[in-house]
Structure 1
Amino acid sequence: MLPYKPIESNVVTIDVGGQIFQTTKQTLSLAGPKSILSQLAESTHRFIDRDPELFSVLLSLLRTGNLPSKAKAFDVEDLIEEARFYNIESLLINSQSNPSQFDAFNLEKSLILPLNGRDSPSAIATTRYGTLHVSHGSKITSFDWSMRKKSTILTQFTAVDSLLAISPCVAAAGATDFSGLQVLDLEKGYVKEILNWENVSRSSCTVQAIGSSSDLLFVSFESGRRNSNSIMVYDLNTLNPVTEIGHYEIYGAGVDSDPAIPATKLSWVSSYNLLMASGSHSNISGVLGNIKLWDIRSGNVVWEIKEKSDCFSDVTVSDSLSAMFKVGINTGEVFYMDLRKMEDSSLWVCLGDKKKVINGKKEGFGSKIESHSSQVFCGKGGDIELWSEVLMGSRNIVEGRSWEERVYRKNLIGRVKDMGGSRITNLAFGGNKMFVTRNGQQSVEVWQSSTRGF
């Protein structure tokens, strides 16, 4: 006869600050191997000298993946501090700043983040879970995912024109009047590395744009003499150069020639493994621009378009919608191009009223456009238009291939009291938030779903 062996209980009893809690080993294991909660599942000493009420909130977070409604009664800083003690802040971030919780149709202006000094924001950058970096004058101010923790560093730049968030504590910054791209440790306030482009004239190299994929860093450089430009590709982890694309040397052609226009916006299109590079230049006859899609592996342009009649004020590309969008600088209208049919460069489709330019006024001057998830956001003046695709179900036949008809609808986001104001200068997205800056204002607006957050 086999000896009796007691069945091991799956229930764990924990004493937190004198209050008894019971849960399961599986629930505690969700805290992760580095958390003391996971260790408690196998421990015989299960007393924690902490606040039991805060623990009850975090235990609910482990059980459901979401904070309970009673969490709103607590100070956010207390919850964050307690989550850090148990080493489960990542779960708290995920529950409050998960990009999947972004609701474009339910956004409201929830917070104004003031910046020190008199300079307006020149560039903003975000991480996936909502850490925010803002350049204003020679400074960069960072806010953590909860928007409660703020820090500012002083850079060597007079003004930062391009900014990319590499991580919550590291950013790449560049300027059109200062040589080199600087990779900055924003927590410790020092330059980790400086990346330069070795051009033929051996002059300084200014940064015109920065972009990234999951493992690559893209930098658009222009020589200090403005007679050459290039896009350098670096390994995002080691910052070692990988390749160079789009190297143009201009010999007497003048700044109005196509190669002379450096890329001022770089966006990675992951589903196509292509880099979108766009740039424009203003002269006496108007605004000239070009948009190119680069194959990084071959170093070749697989698609491009040159614009003159209604050049873009801004361009964005959406992986989710498999489309490119622009704002016409003259008409101020939003146009889109289906990337599935990009071999036909004439297929810009106007989403607006196709209004004509009146007295040469540039209706779209300074307009910004960005894509996020499956929506497109366009800042015109002080308002933000939200464009969303409506699936109509019908299909068209183009060159023997079948395509679904694409129809987009426009909405103005936010409540009436949130709209208007100074011209929008930056739009960015991180976590479940949208960030907006305006001309002449020393602050950043935080837009968030009214049903989310603490």
Structure 2
Amino acid sequence: MKGKRGRVRLNVGGRVFETTAATLAGAGRDTMLGAMIDASWNHGDGEGGVDEYFIDRDPECFAVLLDLLRTGGLHVPPHVADGVLCREALYYGLLDRVRAARWGPFDGDRLRLAASVAGSAAGDGTAVRAAPDGGCCVAHGGAVRVYNWVMEERRAVHLDHAPVNDAAYLDEATLLVAARERPGTGRRDGGVAAFSALTGDLRHRFRVAHDRHVRSYTPGALAFDNRCKVFASCKGRFNEYGIGVWDCTTGEQADFFYEPPGCALGDADKLQWLDGTSTLMAATMFPRTDSSFISLLDFRDKKNVAWSWSDVGTPASLEDKHVLHAIAMEDGRSLCVINQYDDLGFLDVRSSGGAGGVRWRSRSKLAARKKKASPRGEETCYPKLAAHGGQLFASTNDTISVFSGPDHVLTSTLRGSDAGAICDFSIGGDRLFALHNEENVVDVWETSPPPII
């Protein structure tokens, strides 16, 4: 497409736009608009050396997208719905460009509250998981509600009232769900299954076999590695206690790490794959069990516990400092834990069996607001941890604290909607999602885009 003055005329849904070939080329050759200037396309029949093409799409959204290509800024009129703009951007191949203009690279110190989304029922939210594409899913009782990146609800995953223990995105289109058997039914409807994140349809059930027989089991936490393996903590009725492993390409069971004496792998409520050491962190934490157990599992030929730590037998002065959550730091050299007093602790995984003990750091002064209690007088939400981009995040009551630098100095505090304590949060797709259990509200935090110079 080579008009005399390099101009292109586009008739979009009856509205005529005129721009330059260079502007369209800026969209990229892998986009529909960028491909229009490729020499393999036939030229239009416009007048005065200006090529003209007709596109049967929404002209209002095209005006927004053309301005984005011209200026680098995204300016959406109030009458243009986010969902419609998303649909049109996907058609033109500009969805990633729109997302990049909406928010910048993730930075915990520059996060701003972008939205608060209310669920359909209060008090039953258990987990929130960020999707790679900027959306998320929220586990509510026997269902997992799925949202796209503009926080429009897709078709939910329904498990016929089987309570959900955990969920994880295998990729943008595949959601893994771990569910317990429905109490009192006698049905073997628990386990791990893969669902379409787009339609909610069941794709595959991951079975556990023992002594050549398929067994029923209750899964706890989920994780996956960079070699297409899915992990789940499994608590069975017979001898299936430990960590199940499946090949997510074939869906077949690939391995099983049976629970060694002194551990509680089948009850693990936190799994995390560590790329640097090719080990799996399995953490079983108070109050699920009387004491906390954290192990690094090596799944190579001779499966073994490469490292372990427990708060059994802690000194009397620390006997009440049970670990409530744990996260492996991104450098792979240490674990961060948090207790019921909101103290942060660090364990060096390079020392044998956690010989150096926990280096505790008090956070009690940071919990400025009173803990919200349930009608029974019990604390409704326990603290959670996450690590991302070299920063450490810790939820306490209705607040998420951000720690930065090698010394993990407190640099920011995130407090969103007044919806009560945060029961879970997740980071992914350049966003942070925080779930408030009491009101069943999800806060969406984004990083402000960099200024246009």
- Tell whether the structures are fold-level matches, with TM greater than 0.5: yes
Does residue 208 of structure 2 align to residue 213 of structure 1?
no
Alignment partner of 1:134 out of 115, 131, 138: 138
Query: Partners in 2 of 1:336 and 1:54 — Cα distance?
Result: 50
Does residue 399 of structure 2 align to residue 409 of structure 1?
no
User: Identity percentage over the alignment?
Assistant: 18
Could you tell me how far 1:81 is from its partner in structure 2? 2.6
Does residue 65 of structure 2 align to residue 58 of structure 1?
yes
Map Cα deviations across residues 191-239 of structure 1 (whole Å, 9 max, x no partner). 21111222469752110111112322111111136x6412122223332
Does residue 438 of structure 2 align to residue 440 of structure 1?
yes
| Equivalent residues of 1:115, 1:443 under 8 A apart | yes
* Unmatched 5+ stretches in structure 1: 1-6, 251-256, 356-361, 390-405
Trace 1:161-180 onto structure 2 (pairs within 5 A). 161-177=165-181, 179-180=190-191
| Equivalent residues of 2:277, 2:332 under 8 A apart | no
Residues 39/419 of structure 1: CA separation in 2 closer, same or farther (3 Å cut): closer
TM-score (norm 2): 0.78
Does residue 270 of structure 2 align to residue 275 of structure 1?
no
Could you tell me how far 1:119 is from its partner in structure 2? 5.1
Q: Which 4+ runs in 1 deviate beyond 6 A?
A: 7-10, 362-365
Could you tell me how far 1:132 is from its partner in structure 2? 0.7
Residues 421/274 of structure 1: CA separation in 2 closer, same or farther (3 Å cut): same
Residues 194/78 of structure 1: CA separation in 2 closer, same or farther (3 Å cut): closer
Determine the structure 2 residue equivalent to 1:13.
Answer: 8
Query: Partners in 2 of 1:354 and 1:145 — Cα distance?
Result: 35
Trace 1:416-427 onto structure 2 (pairs within 5 A). 418=416, 422-427=420-425
Alignment partner of 1:105 out of 106, 109, 118: 109
TM-score (norm 1): 0.78
Determine the structure 2 residue equivalent to 1:192.
Answer: 203
Trace 1:249-398 onto structure 2 (pairs within 5 A). 257-259=262-264, 262-280=267-285, 282=287, 287-298=290-301, 299-308=303-312, 309=314, 310-320=321-331, 322-329=333-340, 331-339=341-349, 345-352=355-362, 366-389=382-405
Could you tell me how far 1:436 is from its partner in structure 2? 0.9
Query: Partners in 2 of 1:278 and 1:108 — Cα distance?
Result: 31
| Equivalent residues of 1:222, 1:229 under 8 A apart | yes
| Equivalent residues of 2:401, 2:410 under 8 A apart | yes
Matched letter for residue 414 of structure 1:
L
Residues 206/295 of structure 1: CA separation in 2 closer, same or farther (3 Å cut): same
Map Cα deviations across residues 332-360 of structure 1 (whole Å, 9 max, x no partner). 301123455577532422222699xxxxx
| Equivalent residues of 2:111, 2:445 under 8 A apart | yes
| Equivalent residues of 2:232, 2:244 under 8 A apart | yes
Query: Partners in 2 of 1:30 and 1:47 — Cα distance?
Result: 18
Could you tell me how far 1:437 is from its partner in structure 2? 1.2
Query: Partners in 1 of 2:109 and 2:286 — Cα distance?
Result: 35
Residues 431/260 of structure 1: CA separation in 2 closer, same or farther (3 Å cut): closer
Matched letter for residue 324 of structure 1:
L
* Unmatched 5+ stretches in structure 2: 45-51, 182-188, 315-320, 366-377
Determine the structure 1 residue equivalent to 2:83.
Answer: 77
Residues 27/366 of structure 1: CA separation in 2 closer, same or farther (3 Å cut): same
Query: Partners in 2 of 1:451 and 1:78 — Cα distance?
Result: 22
Q: Name the SS of the counterpart of 2:98 in structure 1.
A: helix
| Equivalent residues of 2:137, 2:146 under 8 A apart | yes
| Equivalent residues of 2:246, 2:255 under 8 A apart | yes
Identify the structure with the greater strand proportion: 1
Query: Partners in 1 of 2:327 and 2:421 — Cα distance?
Result: 19
Q: Name the SS of the counterpart of 1:105 in structure 2.
A: helix
Q: CA RMSD in A?
A: 3.4
Q: Name the SS of the counterpart of 2:163 in structure 1.
A: coil
Determine the structure 2 residue equivalent to 1:38.
Answer: 35
Query: Partners in 2 of 1:363 and 1:217 — Cα distance?
Result: 33
Determine the structure 2 residue equivalent to 1:397.
Answer: none
Deviating more after overlay: 333-342 vs 424-433:
333-342
